[in-house]
A and B are shown apart, each in its own frame.
Chain A
């Protein structure tokens, strides 16, 4: 679709201008729905946690509180952005940008359905997502340092140490997926899982599925690993000094990363856009009309619900226990599983390696 647009544009424009316009349109086509999803994820979070705690959640603005995210955004935009004295102004302002830019840039390689609905279908897709999301830690470090506040600095130190620790477990979990799929292209990884529920990679890689999702929780600083915020200990972590829209941008980044992690989990382990009814006689034909994107969206919605469910259920981990879990439990487990997958591949075990 976008190739057609580009060739049509280049028929009467400079080539580079045609490429640039197409790129911008592609980026907008991904970012706008993403921001809308983020807005309604915040509403879903408040509603789900509300119902779990036998409350109503927001229900005043619009029908069932449907306009609440828009009201929140409006309020945050109208608030004053306080610039603390003695803060490093350039870095203070650039930090939220550095937090949200990788969270959005990573979407360039995420495929949405089988018809090639993807901004750029590159060979090193998994590596790209890992590399780009590893830049996200700079937003946290810089905001903590530039604020010129001890609370913010402590929060930034904790959050970034946690992030780079769990990145290792995450990377190793992805290595096992690459070994099974034999490719780093996200579209090929999904196509390799064709053949129904039992052919998805979550069965041979069950421990890695859990490791990846737990690391994802830690990576996005979500409960039960949300020591970066630690309201009871360090006020609010690295973004204490931020207010108004600058503060909101950090939250947009966090929720965009949550959706990204859910997409990656669905693509890597839960068969992406593949129907769960493949290979089941009646159901397969009955659900053949459903677009792949609907299946992917349903899987992602379930994973996002897990994020919210965990927040309502688990108490916060102690910091040394978070580090212990990352370094002494998850990383050794992933290394062991690399060897297990190696043996599985050597012996052509199951339907996954044929």
Chain B
């Protein structure tokens, strides 16, 4: 066993165990954290397969941004686990049937019969100067430029839709809104008036008679 194989088996074990924990653990926050661990281990496996761009982007996008937002939502919701599990037993037979069906389909599509060294030659290791990022970027921006732009526009539409769903302005009699531009642009002059006065000494201040 080479050092690389050893690393691969360690990461693959972590990925599988954390994936199992993710679906079996009760607390949703812990489930999300196990999923994060599974992502990180998978990114490590991709790194050992010399796909460093994919591995690092998996961490950057899924672990660094997506799962954080997921955790935000899960942490702030007060999920009642017992309520969700109420009809667990009555749905169990259908659940088992469905999972068996899905497993069979997956086995037929990506089962061990489709892989192995007799089906595919082992990939040639890339040279030291090979840049995975460049190899991905050049076909993406030349051959598949239109598909790339289409995907970008689709995402933009998604953002606009999500924002319009949450953006509703009520009348200012109901809600007070901040105009931050206005707040930032305030000057001291608008709020504070300096009055110029001559330095006048008031004469004839009556002397307070001290008590005797």
Point out residues on A near B: beta carbons under 8 Å. 15-16, 19-20, 91, 122-124, 127-128, 130-132, 134-135, 137-138, 141-142, 145, 153, 157, 160-161, 164, 167, 171, 184, 320-321, 324
Contacts and interface: CB of A to CB of B under 8 A. Distances in A.
A137 B69 CA distance: 11
Contacts, number: 80
B152 to A, nearest CB: 13
B56 A127 contact: yes
Given A124-B133, A184-B133, 15 more contacts: A15-B2, A123-B133, A124-B131, A124-B132, A131-B57, A131-B60, A134-B64, A135-B40, A135-B63, A135-B64, A141-B71, A160-B68, A160-B72, A171-B60, A324-B180
Nearest to A324: B180
Nearest to B27: A88
B188 interface: no
Contacts of B53: 124, 127
Nearest to B178: A320
B64 A142 contact: no
Contacts of A16: 1-3, 6
Contacts of B36: 138
B11 interface: no
Given A127-B53, A134-B65, A142 B6 contact: no
Contacts of B69: 164
Contact of B132 (A123, A130, A157, A167): A123
B33 A137 contact: no
Interface string B55-94: 0110110011100110110010000000000000000000
Interface residues of B, number: 31
| Most interface-central of A91, A135, A321 (chain B CB within 10 A) | A135
B124 to A, nearest CB: 17
Interface of B: 1-3, 6, 29-30, 33, 36, 40, 52-53, 56-57, 59-60, 63-65, 68-69, 71-72, 75, 129-133, 178, 180, 184
B133 A134 contact: no
B68 A164 contact: yes
B68 A124 contact: no
Nearest to A137: B68
Nearest to B60: A131
28 contacts: A16-B2, A16-B6, A19-B3, A123-B52, A123-B129, A123-B130, A124-B56, A124-B131, A124-B132, A127-B56, A127-B60, A130-B56, A131-B56, A131-B64, A132-B59, A134-B63, A135-B40, A135-B64, A137-B64, A138-B33, A145-B71, A153-B75, A157-B72, A160-B72, A164-B64, A164-B68, A164-B69, A167-B64
A131 B68 contact: no
A318 B64 CA distance: 25
Nearest to B6: A16
A122 B64 contact: no
Nearest to A90: B30
A134 B60 contact: yes
B59 A145 contact: no
A306 to B, nearest CB: 24
